[in-house]
Structure 1
Amino acid sequence: MKNLIKNILLLGSVVLMLAACKKDETRVVAKSDATAPALTATYENLVLNEADAAAEAIMFKWSKADYGYSAAISYTVEVAKKDSNFVNAKSVSAGANSQLVLTVGAFNSLLNQLNLVGFAQNDVEVRVKSEIGGGVAPVYSKSIPLVVSPYLDKPAYQTLYLVGDGTFGQWDNNKATPVFRDPANAFVFTFTGNFSNGAFKFLGKLGQWYPSWGSNGSGGVMFREKDADPDPANFPITSGYHKVTLNLRSNTYTDVPYDASGKTTYASIGIIGPFTDWGSIIPMTNTTLNPHIWTIDHTFDSDTEMKFRIAEGWSVNWGPANDGTASDVYGVGGNGGGNFKVKAGSYTIIFNDMTAEYVFIKK
């Protein structure tokens, strides 16, 4: 009986201790109406230049969010296209700081992720998100508008296409002629070949009339971004061989006559590699207007190697200019040499036997 009384007294003491501990506990609860940060920026209109990539572009500053008690807060700056409700917004973490400084290069890369129009004014919105974790919903500042003109880190196009009565496909934009790219400048698109007397313009997508580039009527280039935009005038061209060049960065166009009189006209050129056991070629096709431009649609079932070669044998073949360019999807090759390295997939492949230019267009 004595032991039973002892146990009852001991149990009572434990219950009293737990109750005392419970009374001493203090719960911290975030305000349901937490005060969001207020955001400002040093500029409202920015033109970004690649030459200034390392320079400071913009500073975002904000007041500290108030959750009703002292908390460890982390902030994230979000940038989105205007009126997108921040769907597909891109963000940069600022940690616990109340400001974020971005260089021209860093801000430009962030903007390029939004697929904005390069070298033109774009409307975007910026806000800052405040978080404390622990299941507490984040709070956002009011968005602020910015007008930004980013430069392109790289063109949005694998290649461009020529369409017009000066080209083989005439005005059928589904038969437009692919062009090549300058390996030293990804924004420079070139085509060296034969033209009919007439005119043409550049298209950004096969089978579509926009985006497109044509003449502005006074020696310059006019860009048509979307269907509702005015259609640019055509570039005139005379019959014969020309090298035409469009620079998307400088928005300039050149037309230079090309002497093809000493160039060999081959009966057949094709692709060859392990997929043919390095035996015979898979023939490419050319046209009567451009017998030196060869095209093929081909699917590689696995990563492989290949070269361009005439049908008769190995006396004439083309590979990459050097080992460092073997995996490039566009460039200028060389006679003989190594092998192109191609990733598995379906491609349209174009090759110019006069200039050794090539481009692999991934489908």
Structure 2
Amino acid sequence: MKIKNILFLMAVIFAFVACNDDTDPVLPQYKASVLTHPANDTLYVLEQVNASKVLLTLDWTAYKQTDLLVGAVSYVVQMDLAGNDFSQARTFTPVPGVTVDAESSDYTTSLKVEDVNKVLMNGFRVPADTIANVEFRVITRVGNVVVPSSASNVFKARVIPYKALDTPVLYIIGDGLVGWDNSAAAIGRDLQVFFGESNVDVSVGKYTYTGYFKKGGGLKLVTNAGDWDSAYGYADAAGTLVAKGGGNIPTPAADGFYTFTVDLKALSYNFEPYAAGASAPTYNRIGVVGSATSNGWDSPDAEMTQVTPHVWVIKGISLTAAEMKFRANDAWDVSWGGNSTNLPFGISDSGDNIAIAKGSTYFISFNDLTKNYVIIDEDRLP
């Protein structure tokens, strides 16, 4: 048996022997850490656009602990709703203790927006967009055992969580655009894929689609191909949507080009005339070209299909981890690049090559009016 284990057993035996019948055994106690940052009663408003960013940083001083209790020392940050006295505490990733002989050491750790939001929404069932009074503390862990007596002072905060939207791909369906086929095979045809100004916008439920809409038609918004029950529908003439229900969204009173915007968080939609659509250049062919394609930078390009005016689609295209562009008529007279490094949503807003990070089979949609594109791994589609 190791010397430390023997010492620990001797300490326990001594504690019991030293007690009389009227007292409880006294085991060695750890000295509590001291939280020094941040300030109390700060209000934090969580937003999904900042999900991967740091929400707050906790600094504390921890003290050298007795050698009588054996095992690796680490520190965990606990969070609970105010008033629970940490009886329902959730813990975050532990911070390893340093192995130095100093009497005290300073530590720091950061908590991300999405991690705190998940605890509030999923763990504590706090309603979105409401203030939750929470408390944080640092507690010592020895091996796998949390030592209750080691709890630090408490940091109090007010936090407003958000409802996370997990709908990276949203489809438009209906005879106001193409048709009503709601099968996976219809993705890119009757099921038109919404574009997004950026991945950040999409992460908070904001989508856009500029195209030719037919008067007197209807539309719905589908989140899962083939599933009508989860679709968004029409609520009222004020431009309000209904999740998992509602009627068909009516198209504008006149045929023409419109920008159709949707905000799933606000449950709203809007049609705005797109005057430039009527006089915009048209192309016989648009294709995908580049080192990511099987033909490289040479013709012929991987040809896309124009499924509705100015919106082009290609399915099942194999791309390697390299670069690509869109171009018209297998020539460099008109081409579109982009510097987005975070697919699937982007805009061809520069002459740069579009980087493909992973070799796979892709679905691609490109709008030559707005230069929006979607490049998505087909593993993420039905």
| TM-score with structure 2 setting the length | 0.59
Alignment of 1:64-75 (within 5 A): 74-75=75-76
CA gap 1:316/1:26 in 2 versus in 1, 3 angstroms: closer
Shift of 1:306: 1.0
Q: Which residue of 2 aligns with 1:270?
A: 287
**Distance of 1:189 and 1:358 partners within structure 2:** 12
Shift of 1:339: 1.4
Q: Which residue of 2 aligns with 1:27?
A: 10
- Is residue 2:365 matched to residue 1:350? yes
CA gap 1:282/1:192 in 2 versus in 1, 3 angstroms: same
Work out which of the residue numbers 197, 205, 220 in structure 2 matches 1:201: 220
Work out which of the residue numbers 348, 352, 355 in structure 2 matches 1:338: 352
Q: Which residue of 2 aligns with 1:283?
A: 303
| Structure 1 gaps, min length 5 | 1-22, 34-41, 60-68, 80-88, 97-101, 142-146, 225-229
Shift of 1:245: 0.3
Shift of 1:132: 4.0
Number of residue-to-residue matches in the alignment? 296
Range with greater deviation from structure 2 (342-351 or 308-317): 308-317
**Distance of 2:274 and 2:375 partners within structure 1:** 24
Q: Which residue of 2 aligns with 1:178?
A: 193
Q: Which residue of 2 aligns with 1:63?
A: none
Alpha-carbon contact 1:280-1:311 (below 8 Å) kept: no
What RMSD in Å do the two structures reach over aligned CA positions? 5.1
**Distance of 2:196 and 2:278 partners within structure 1:** 24
Q: Which residue of 2 aligns with 1:189?
A: 207
Q: Which amino acid aligns with 1:272?
A: V
Work out which of the residue numbers 93, 115, 119 in structure 2 matches 1:110: 115
CA gap 1:244/1:115 in 2 versus in 1, 3 angstroms: farther
Q: Which residue of 2 aligns with 1:256?
A: 272
> What SS does the corresponding residue of 1:186 show, helix, strand or coil?
helix
Q: Which residue of 1 aligns with 2:85?
A: none
CA gap 1:48/1:210 in 2 versus in 1, 3 angstroms: farther
CA gap 1:94/1:213 in 2 versus in 1, 3 angstroms: farther
Alpha-carbon contact 1:181-1:189 (below 8 Å) kept: yes
> What SS does the corresponding residue of 2:114 show, helix, strand or coil?
helix
Q: Which amino acid aligns with 1:333?
A: S
Q: Which residue of 2 aligns with 1:246?
A: 262
> What SS does the corresponding residue of 2:279 show, helix, strand or coil?
coil
Q: Which residue of 2 aligns with 1:9?
A: none
Q: Which residue of 2 aligns with 1:164?
A: 174
Q: Which amino acid aligns with 1:268?
A: R
**Distance of 1:215 and 1:121 partners within structure 2:** 27
Shift of 1:162: 0.6
- Is residue 2:324 matched to residue 1:306? yes
**Distance of 1:75 and 1:148 partners within structure 2:** 20
Work out which of the residue numbers 216, 234, 248 in structure 2 matches 1:234: 248
Shift of 1:119: 4.8
Shift of 1:180: 0.6
Shift of 1:90: 6.7
| TM-score with structure 1 setting the length | 0.62
Work out which of the residue numbers 218, 232, 250 in structure 2 matches 1:213: 232
> What SS does the corresponding residue of 2:201 show, helix, strand or coil?
strand
Q: Which amino acid aligns with 1:252?
A: S
Shift of 1:268: 1.5
CA gap 1:255/1:137 in 2 versus in 1, 3 angstroms: same
Alpha-carbon contact 2:287-2:326 (below 8 Å) kept: yes
Alignment of 1:40-59 (within 5 A): 48-50=45-47
Residues 13-47 of structure 1: per-residue CA shift (max 9 Å, x gap) = xxxxxxxxxx999623499x9xxxxxxxx99xx99
Shift of 1:110: 1.3
Q: Which residue of 2 aligns with 1:319?
A: 337
Shift of 1:92: 4.9
Alpha-carbon contact 2:286-2:328 (below 8 Å) kept: yes
Shift of 1:331: 2.1
Alpha-carbon contact 1:129-1:139 (below 8 Å) kept: no
Identity within the alignment, %: 24
Alpha-carbon contact 1:211-1:223 (below 8 Å) kept: no
Shift of 1:139: 7.5
> What SS does the corresponding residue of 1:181 show, helix, strand or coil?
coil
Range with greater deviation from structure 2 (341-350 or 183-192): 183-192
Alpha-carbon contact 2:173-2:192 (below 8 Å) kept: yes
Alpha-carbon contact 2:305-2:313 (below 8 Å) kept: yes
**Distance of 1:204 and 1:111 partners within structure 2:** 26
Shift of 1:191: 0.4
Q: Which residue of 2 aligns with 1:37?
A: none
Q: Which amino acid aligns with 2:299?
A: G
**Distance of 1:306 and 1:114 partners within structure 2:** 40
Q: Which residue of 2 aligns with 1:85?
A: none
Shift of 1:126: 10
